[in-house]
Amino acid sequence: MTATLACTGLSKRFGDVLAVQDVGFAIAPGEAYGLLGPNGAGKTTTISMLVGLLKPATGNVTVCGTDLAAEPLAAKAKIGYVPQEIALYPELTGRENLRFFGRLFGLPRRELAARIDEVLDLVGLSDRADGKLGTYSGGMKRRINIGAALLHRPEVLILDEPTVGVDPQSRKAILDGVERLVADGMALLYTSHYMEEVERVCDRVGIIDHGRIVAEGTRHELVAMVGSADTIELMLDGDVDGAFDKLQALEGVVEAVRTGTGSVRLLAEGGRYVLPAIITAVDGRATVTAVEVIEPDLEATFLHLTGSKLRD
């Protein structure tokens, strides 16, 4: 079966920064794919190449088998792109914004009005559609921002951090709407800083760091990569070097990493049970000023693979 959206070997350089290197993945019809990465990982740059805004230095993109570089208009007609920033006209109403982009993207006039109503309903803004966009809340703008990408019934929806700066009510409306679209068979590429959103919405996740995809799989597969070990973050005060040596040798500790002058990260089987031993081991050399146990989940995997947390 042809993938709805596929890319291989994508790279892009900005001056000295290799923003994206050799990125490739494929999204099947009705599949939701999450791209998870810290700030500056290259998510937006990757998406810009997927939607034809940036020319890749290497690699290629196909949409439902159509090559983006060779037939840009045909390929783009199948993509619904939601930019990371709100990209709408503040002086127009929500409905007028939708009408403009719908017409621009070739919807027949007869069909357009009905389609706008459908989309407004989907994003839950039917009752506020005729207010000026400039007067909307951040969450409402985000919802129209998504709606504008849905008018032409794309095969794949590309969402670049769609819930940034959004109130809980709008976030729920957005996630519900996205899930409904995926259930109806739309392919989805979703990037976010919010682990729980990606876990909830996506079937498969690619973890991107420094422009490379460092791991890819279902949530289950990714979590299994760090095994059943818990991650323990410690903040120490005193003879940190001495304490670190002790911790490394401790039974149950699979891996120990110095992450800062006074901070240590341990990977340990049954973290909660090792904790008392950790405190004892450190005692006399250093005092533990803070401790955090992260059980195996996507967040822990992410931490393990990229060495950084999703949110600071």
Ligand X SMILES: Nc1ncnc2c1ncn2[C@@H]1O[C@H](COP(=O)(O)OP(=O)(O)OP(=O)(O)O)[C@@H](O)[C@H]1O
Distance CA 8, CA 56 (A): 11
Contact with other proteins (CB under 8 A) among 2, 40, 65, 103? 103
If we measure between CA atoms, which residue out of 301, 279, 126, 305 comes closest to residue 230?
301
Does position 111 interact with other proteins (CB under 8 A)? The reply is: no
Of the candidate spans 66-74, 76-84, 149-157, 250-258, the one that interacts with Mg ion by CB under 5 A turns out to be 76-84
**Residue from the set 10, 21, 31, 37 that interacts with ligand X by CB under 6 A:** 37
Q: If binding means CB under 8 A, how many residues of this protein chain bind other proteins?
A: 27
Half-sphere exposure of residue 7, counting CA atoms within 13 Å on the CB side? 26
User: CB-based contacts of 248: which residues, under 8 Å, 6+ apart?
Assistant: 256
The correct pick among 21, 44, 170, 231 for binding Mg ion (CB under 5 A) is 44
Q: How far is the CB of 198 from ligand X (least distance, A)?
A: 13
Residue 198: in which H helix or E strand, if any? helix 195-201
Q: Binding segment for ligand X among 42-50, 165-173, 235-243, 291-299 (CB under 6 A)?
A: 42-50
In the range 177-216, which residues lie near ligand X by CB under 6 A?
Answer: none
Distance CA 97, CA 219 (A): 37
What phi-psi label fits residue 108: left (phi over 0), alpha (psi between -120 and 50 degrees) or beta? beta
- In the complex, the smallest distance separating the C-beta of residue 253 from Mg ion, rounded to whole angstroms, is 36
42 binds ligand X (CB under 6 A): yes
Cβ pair 232, 274 in contact under 8 A = yes
Q: Looking at beta carbons only, is 115 or 265 nearer to other proteins? A: 115
How far apart (Å, rounded) are the C-alpha atoms in residues 65 and 76?
12
Q: In this structure, what is the dihedral angle of CA atoms 174, 119, 43, 166, given to the nearest 10 degrees?
A: -30
**Interface residue with other proteins, options 69, 104, 114, 183 (CB under 8 A):** 104
- d(CA 254, CA 267) in angstroms, rounded, equals 5
Task: Pick between residue 37 and residue 102 the one whose CB is nearest to ligand X.
Answer: 37
- What gap in Å lies between CA 161 and CA 54, rounded to an integer? 19
74 near other proteins, rule: CB under 8 A: yes
By CB under 8 A, tell whether 249 contacts other proteins: no
Out of ligand X, other proteins, Mg ion, none, what residue 19 binds, judged by CB under 5 to 8 A for its kind, is ligand X
Does 163 help bind Mg ion (rule: CB under 5 A)? no
Name the segment binding other proteins (CB under 8 A); options: 11-19, 67-75, 167-175, 180-188. Answer: 67-75
C-beta closer to other proteins: residue 87 or 291: 87
Determine which residue in the list 37, 52, 124, 206 makes contact with other proteins, applying CB under 8 A.
52
CA 272/CA 83 separation, integer angstroms = 42
Q: CA distances (Å), 52 to each of 56, 87, 107, 226, in order?
A: 9, 16, 21, 36
Q: Rule CB under 6 A: which residues touch ligand X? A: 14, 17, 19, 37, 39-45, 84
| Interface contacts to other proteins, rule CB under 8 A | 51-53, 55, 72-74, 76-77, 79, 81, 83, 85-91, 100-101, 103-106, 148, 152
